[in-house]
């Protein structure tokens, strides 16, 4: 089956829904999403949106904090755009129905690690869920936006699917849609469009322990790379320092805001330790805190550290963090007002992704990207807390007029595409063997490409992931697709991109720390790591 729309949006998080809502005034919009329309990394975001909303804050301070956290390779132009346009985008979000926590008639502004002022706009400790609700309600009122749930993108449609026998120069590559697997009908359809927006989120499921939902398998990065787009900075994987120990998959997140509220990190013997790593102690940026916890655990042979809130007023803790409090109490039998929380780091956010300019353009014509799947240059070597939702809001908006104009200038009809060839057969017994590769990749990445790396570990990871990738690719070419196979293929490719990028960066900077190159090397590596 072939579907035709003016705009195709892949992903239904904050970037995808914001973009779809505004693009609906220019034409018909299809939004495809892997599971339920509300299932996304946005929905799991607890902390909030960082924005300058107070007279005691300033754009310059927010820019400075972001650049300092990015450790030299953030793009200043992108950072300044995000910071200066952020408050306007946030007010728009409020105007479409997002309800944020108030205090004395104004926004209750929290504070998180790396920020020099209170600027975190939040909805209690479930900010992402509230934003997702408001955007879904707003999109539902637009008649020319159609959401396709339980649809998994397989491949982007480019000239390779039209001009089978002609070599395509890289600067002529253009995207006209995507092949999409309908999981309910068990078939692959073609979605054709004049512009395609990738908003597929992150790749946390590449790792064994992650805060990301099961759908965060790096699909957008993998598809864009296979289509010929440039990918950048995949070595910078942010590990959230405080997830609840032994809480399953995905790991239950204990928000950065808990430390911003006054929570203190301690060893199991009750001793504070962050003062040995940074003057800001428990309010240091995430890369420093995650590294410190990892180092202490390895030094002591222990499985977790403690996040202590017992010195804070119990009623205020319950009032500020109702979701965290109730989940810890009811599901894990931990009263966070009376006992310390056992926490460990887990993979949380990808600072790299599909390389875009400040208007969301990728290196492939007609293909745009926003949100965690993209690399705008804002985050550099490490993301400042709560800048992710802000980045998604600002740069999905900036892509609207540019992609609308791109659509308007496309005079020729959409090209005919090849039918999807699913003549292969599914060998159930072989699939059982191949499916174990997902766990193997996650274990390899956790063991060898985690918070601290080395050349030897990366080389070992590269060999093992290459072997798995070859097995998966061979199986993919011989069989009918399934959603599990699509995800496994993308996880394998993203793991390879992360490893290759990490091997290229022979220094330690931000989220990439290696025991073989312990210092920053600005003479050679004050730049992005680009793959294509």
Angle at 122 between CA 118 and CA 124, to 5 degrees: 120
pLDDT value at 45 more than 60? no
**Is 3 inside a domain boundary?**
no
Q: Give a yes or no: residue 288 inside a domain.
A: yes
pLDDT at 42 over 80: no
**Res 413 pLDDT > 80:** no
Q: Is residue 217 part of a domain?
A: no
522 has a pLDDT exceeding 50: yes
Share of the chain above pLDDT 90, in %: 80
pLDDT (tens digit per residue) in 174-190? 999 999 999 999 999 99
Token pair recorded at residue 294: 């990892």
d(CA 387, CA 401): 23
Q: Give this prediction's pTM.
A: 0.92
Cβ neighbours for 432, distance < 8 A, ≥ 6 positions apart = none
Listed in sequence order, the DSSP H helices in 35-99 are: 41-44, 59-70, 76-95
Mean pLDDT lowest for which of 50-59, 236-245, 363-372, 429-438? Answer: 429-438
- 321 touches 258 (CB < 8 A): yes
Q: Per mean pLDDT, which of 31-35, 282-286, 490-494 is the most reliable?
A: 490-494
d(CA 309, CA 304): 16
pLDDT at 427 (0 to 100): 76
pLDDT tens profile 82-102: 999 999 999 999 999 999 999
Asked if the model's pLDDT at residue 425 lies above 80, the reply is no
In a domain, 457, yes or no: yes
Greater model confidence, 129 or 444: 444
In a domain, 439, yes or no: yes
| Residue 41 pLDDT > 60 | no
Host domain of residue 297 = 244-345
- Work out the average pLDDT over 62-91: 97
d(CA 292, CA 394): 32
DSSP character at residue 361: B
Please state the length of the chain: 532
Measured distance CA(309)–CA(419) in Å, rounded:
58
Average pLDDT for 455-477: 96
Residues 6+ apart with CB under 8 A from 495: 206, 441, 444, 445, 449, 461, 465, 469
* pLDDT beyond 60 at 40: no
β partners of residue 8: 30, 196
Residue 530 pLDDT grade (very low, low, confident, very high; cuts 50, 70, 90): very high
Beta bridge partner(s), residue 344: 243
Cα gap 46→101, rounded to integer Å: 13
Domain boundary among 289, 313, 345: 345
**Which of 345, 378, 402 represents a domain boundary (last residue)?**
345
* CATH code, domain with 481: 1.20.58.100
Tell me the C-alpha distance between 426 and 107, whole Å.
54
Number of folded domains in the chain? 2
Which SS3 state, helix, strand or coil, does residue 485 take? helix
- For residue 74, being part of any structural domain is answered with no
* Dihedral of alpha carbons 503, 508, 513, 518, sign: positive
| Higher-confidence position of 307 and 167 | 307
**What span, in angstroms and rounded, lies between the C-alpha atoms of 118 and 52?**
9
Q: For residue 172, what pLDDT is reported?
A: 81
- Determine the pLDDT at residue 165: 47
pLDDT at residue 430 in the model: 82
The answer to whether residue 450 sits within a structural domain is yes
User: Is the residue at 259 inside a domain?
Assistant: yes
Strands 237-244 and 264-266: unpaired
- Give the pLDDT confidence score for residue 38 in this predicted structure: 53
What's the mean pLDDT when you consider all of the chain?
Answer: 92
Convert 194-261 into a string of H (helix), E (strand) and C (coil). CEEEECCCCCHHHCCCECCCCCCCCHHHHHHHHHCCCEECCCCEEEEEEEECCCCCCCCECCHHHHHC
pLDDT in tens, 286-335: 889 999 999 999 899 999 999 999 999 999 999 999 999 999 999 999 99
- Structure-token pair, residue 490: 């993308």
Catalytic residue among 119, 129, 286, 469: 286
pLDDT of residue 366: 96
- Please tell me the predicted confidence (pLDDT) of residue 315: 96
Cα-trace Rg, the chain: 22
Instruction: Quote the CA–CA distance of 401 and 442 in Å, as a whole number.
Output: 39
CB-based burial label for 471 (10 Å; 0-12, 13-18, 19+)? middle
Give the pLDDT confidence of 347-396 residue by residue, as tens digits.
999 999 999 999 999 999 999 999 999 999 999 999 998 999 999 999 99
How far is Cα 213 from Cα 202, in angstroms, rounded to an integer? 10
At 112-130, the pLDDT tens digits run 888 999 999 998 878 888 9
Residue linked to tokens 């949006």: 9
- pLDDT band (50, 70, 90) for residue 43: low
The yes-or-no answer on residue 184 being catalytic is no
**DSSP strand E in 72-209: where?**
102-103, 106-107, 109-110, 120-121, 145-148, 151-157, 177-182, 187-192, 195-198
Question: pLDDT, tens digit, for every residue of 195-223?
Answer: 999 999 999 999 999 999 899 999 999 99
Cα distance between residue 410 and residue 413, in whole Å: 8
Q: Which of 313, 345, 377 is the last residue of a domain?
A: 345
For residue 440, is pLDDT > 60?
A: yes
Helices first, then strands: H and E counts in the chain:
15, 24
- C-alpha distances (whole Å) from 19 to each of 127, 257, 504 are 19, 28, 34
């Amino acid at each position: 089956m072939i579907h035709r729309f003016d705009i195709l949006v892949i992903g239904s998080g904050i970037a995808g829904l914001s973009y779809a809502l505004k693009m609906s005034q220019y034409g018909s919009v299809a939004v495809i999403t892997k599971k339920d329309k509300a299932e996304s990394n946005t929905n799991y975001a607890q902390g909030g949106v960082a924005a300058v909303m107070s007279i005691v804050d300033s754009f310059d301070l927010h820019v400075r904090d972001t650049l300092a956290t990015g450790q030299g390779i953030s793009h200043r132009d992108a950072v300044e755009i995000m910071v200066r346009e952020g408050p306007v985008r946030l007010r728009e979000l409020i105007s479409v129905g997002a309800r944020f926590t108030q205090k004395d008639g104004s926004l209750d502004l929290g504070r998180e690690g790396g920020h020099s002022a209170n600027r975190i706009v939040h909805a209690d400790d479930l900010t992402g869920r509230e934003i997702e609700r408001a955007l879904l309600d707003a999109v539902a009122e637009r008649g020319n936006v159609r959401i396709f749930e339980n649809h998994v993108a397989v491949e982007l449609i480019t000239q390779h699917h039209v001009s089978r026998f002609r070599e395509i120069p890289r600067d002529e590559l253009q995207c006209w849609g995507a092949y999409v697997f309908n999981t309910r009908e068990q078939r692959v359809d073609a979605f054709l469009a004049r512009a395609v927006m990738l908003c597929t989120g992150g790749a946390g499921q590449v790792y064994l322990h992650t805060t990301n939902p099961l759908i965060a398998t790096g699909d957008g990065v993998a598809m864009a790379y296979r289509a010929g787009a440039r990918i950048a900075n995949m070595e910078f994987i942010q590990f959230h320092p405080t997830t609840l120990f032994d809480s399953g998959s995905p790991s239950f997140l204990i928000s950065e805001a808990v430390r911003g509220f006054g929570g203190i990190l301690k060893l199991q013997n009750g001793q504070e330790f962050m003062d040995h790593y940074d003057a800001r102690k428990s309010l240091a940026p995430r890369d420093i805190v995650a590294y410190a916890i990892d180092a202490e655990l390895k030094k002591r042979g222990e499985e977790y550290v403690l996040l202590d809130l017992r010195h804070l007023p119990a009623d205020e803790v319950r009032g500020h963090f109702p979701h965290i409090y109730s989940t810890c109490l009811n599901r894990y039998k931990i009263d966070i007002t009376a006992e310390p929380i056992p926490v460990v780091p887990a993979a949380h956010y990808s600072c790299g992704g599909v390389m875009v300019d400040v208007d969301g353009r990728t290196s492939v014509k007609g293909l745009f990207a926003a949100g965690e799947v993209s690399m705008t240059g804002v985050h550099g070597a490490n993301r400042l807390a709560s800048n992710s939702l802000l980045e998604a809001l600002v740069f999905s908006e900036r892509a609207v007029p540019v992609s609308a104009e791109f659509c308007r200038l496309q005079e020729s009809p959409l090209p005919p595409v090849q039918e999807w060839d699913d003549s292969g057969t599914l060998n159930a017994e072989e699939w059982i063997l191949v499916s174990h590769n997902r766990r193997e990749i996650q274990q390899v990445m956790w063991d060898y490409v985690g918070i601290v790396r080395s050349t030897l570990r990366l080389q070992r990871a590269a060999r093992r992931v290459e072997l798995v990738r070859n097995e998966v690719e061979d199986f993919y070419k011989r069989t009918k697709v399934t959603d599990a196979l699509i995800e496994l293929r993308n996880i394998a490719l993203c793991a390879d991109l992360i490893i290759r990028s990490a091997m290229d960066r022979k220094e330690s900077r931000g989220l990439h720390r290696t025991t073989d190159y312990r210092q920053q090397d600005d003479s050679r590596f004050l730049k992005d790591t680009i793959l294509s």
